[in-house]
Structure 1
Amino acid sequence: MELRDLAMQAATIAVEAGRHALQDQINPHDPRSTSAIGQGTQFSPGIDTRLIRYCRTKIAALDPMDGFWEEEAGNRRPGGRYWCLGHIDGPVNYVRNMAEWTLTISLFAVDEKGHASPVLGIVHAPVLGLTYLAAKGQGAIRIRRTIVGDKREKIIPSTMTTLNGSVISFGMSYFPNESEKVLQIVSRMAGKPADIKRVGPVSLDLCRVADGSYDAYFEPALHSWDIPAVSAAAVVVREAKGTLWRWDGGHVRWEGSNDVVATNGLIAEDLDTYLSGR
């Protein structure tokens, strides 16, 4: 199956899983009943595990490839392809009945040198009625739910060339040292952008750079548990002709932690002045 067709089929799985998650979200619940189940999903409710199980079963039936990214950490072979399924991205938003949370699916390909990179990505936001999907070499699209049915649109980044008057988004974690770093940058930058937003989650913020809603996004520390969300959105950003790099200009490392910056490709130099501390 071609990557583009595979992306469309995988997107239908994400949409169906999103219906289950949304139904659970709107059911009455007490946020205090949720518990920490790991650093990456501090407030994630029990639905998370069921969603992963559902998506794994459906994806394996669609095309099992060479397995799943998390399980094959020590056995990934050159030429292999591995699915990467994310937990709910934006679990705090989910538990607090906010709209900004997503489900993500990505596919990694390993080249002949053993280097892995995502080649397919789906980011689905059930409450917002948005699905972003992209496949390597095929561009990126956004599917919007409307009152007359789904509307499919090709997406491209904004054409803003300077921070002045731009709309910037940033991410931060609950680790104090990481949050302090990004807040200092935002403080220095204040007054140039028309707005600096902090909404989350990372997958949705990155897609909003891809579709031109934001001009750039940056975060000082994304961890291994963020890889599913970031990898899915990375394909969307790059296929929309945006840019996604580490702050030092290097490639994102898909095996560990990263600082990341995504832009429309036009204001990267202006933004780098603040990220580099010059």
Structure 2
Amino acid sequence: MTTRPVPALPDGVTVAELERLCVAFAAEAGRFIRDERPPRMGVSATKSSETDVVTVMDRRSEELLHALIQQARPDDGILGEEGADVAGTSGLTWVVDPIDGTVNYLYEVPAYAVSVAVVVGDPHAQGGWSPVAGAVADPSLRVVHHAGRGTGAWTSPEDPSDDRSPVRLSVSAEERLGRTLLATGFGYAAHVRARQAQVMLRVLPLVRDIRRIGSAALDLVRVAEGSVDAYAESGLNAWDLAAGWLIVEEAGGVVVGEDRDSAPGKILTVAAGHALVEQVRTLFVSGDDTAEDTAQEDSDEE
């Protein structure tokens, strides 16, 4: 488990309570996007108007999250992917991604998520914030992955009445780069993809294999549960990684940016166990400026 200390919280607020709320809110939004998904949405449906149905569901999910947060924690701030930010006075900010993996959601690929986290500091500033509680709901599997600073990382049933016990998460113990199953992602812009392809030419021969899942939040969860050994990607925003970052650390892993002392973010995010993280980070920064260029673009997971 991480040894990072719990940041100071407002009087009367506990990590356990924030984690409980993250789980409840992520689960409710996850059920919403799964159960209320328009029938026969399809790719062609996005061509019918300027506001396509995926965007509608994104916004409706974020509206739901805003309502839940403001009812429970009216003094907290909110930062979300759809841009309806709320300024708070408590020193806590909720960072939400209403649908992470929207392309998967559009195509009905069962790898999309809702990410909800509570952070201290300014989530608009690179390196200026830290998550204290977070949850990633996986509606397709009907589970929620969650963590609080100092409470460990867990996977729990989406339905609180489900009698299955939570499962504690732990990162892979893999130490050798050549045996590493590496998750990654790619940007939308053609020139960014071309440069990322060049990085893959260098990386692929040095690892066991590559996985491109299509959701940054779920990629981070998979590192935490050990179903992939490591993850690296450029172009992530706070809402893509806030909950997953904490879940990885509470599962015993490390999450860094473009150098070993920097926070994860747009330039680069690398997550792995202690033995692998520096090896993987080096792969993505050695002899190439792709990370810097890709940081100017939004990732596919947004």
* TM-score, normalising length: structure 1: 0.84
Q: CA deviation at 1:75?
A: 6.0
Q: CA deviation at 1:72?
A: 9.8
Counterpart CA distance in 2 for 1:21 and 1:90 is 12
Counterpart CA distance in 2 for 1:266 and 1:42 is 44
Q: CA deviation at 1:10?
A: 2.6
Counterpart of 1:248 (choices 239, 259, 264) is 259
Structure 2 residue 9 is the aligned partner of structure 1 residue 23: no
Structure 2 residue 280 is the aligned partner of structure 1 residue 271: yes
Structure 2 residue 135 is the aligned partner of structure 1 residue 122: yes
- Indicate the residue corresponding to 1:177 in structure 2: 191
Structure 2 residue 47 is the aligned partner of structure 1 residue 47: no
Counterpart of 1:221 (choices 222, 235, 243) is 235
Secondary structure at the residue paired with 2:177? coil
Structure 2 CA distance for partners of 1:200 and 1:144, relative to 1, 3 Å:
farther
Secondary structure at the residue paired with 2:164? strand
> Would you say the 8 A contact 1:37–1:44 is kept in 2?
no
Counterpart of 1:33 (choices 45, 49, 72) is 45
Counterpart CA distance in 2 for 1:80 and 1:198 is 36
Percent identity of the aligned residues?
Answer: 25
Counterpart CA distance in 1 for 2:280 and 2:77 is 39
Q: CA deviation at 1:57?
A: 1.1
- Indicate the residue corresponding to 1:68 in structure 2: 78
Counterpart CA distance in 2 for 1:217 and 1:165 is 14
Counterpart CA distance in 2 for 1:81 and 1:90 is 26
Matches within 5 A, 1:148-167: 149-167=163-181
> Would you say the 8 A contact 2:253–2:271 is kept in 1?
yes
Deviates more, 1:137-146 or 1:115-124: 137-146
Partner amino acid, structure 2, of 1:276: V
- Indicate the residue corresponding to 1:11 in structure 2: 23
Note the aligned Cα RMSD (angstroms): 3.0
**Long gaps (5+) in structure 1:** none
Structure 2 residue 242 is the aligned partner of structure 1 residue 231: yes
Counterpart CA distance in 2 for 1:134 and 1:169 is 21
Counterpart CA distance in 1 for 2:116 and 2:22 is 7
Partner amino acid, structure 2, of 1:158: S
Q: CA deviation at 1:74?
A: 10
* TM-score, normalising length: structure 2: 0.78
Structure 2 CA distance for partners of 1:253 and 1:158, relative to 1, 3 Å:
closer
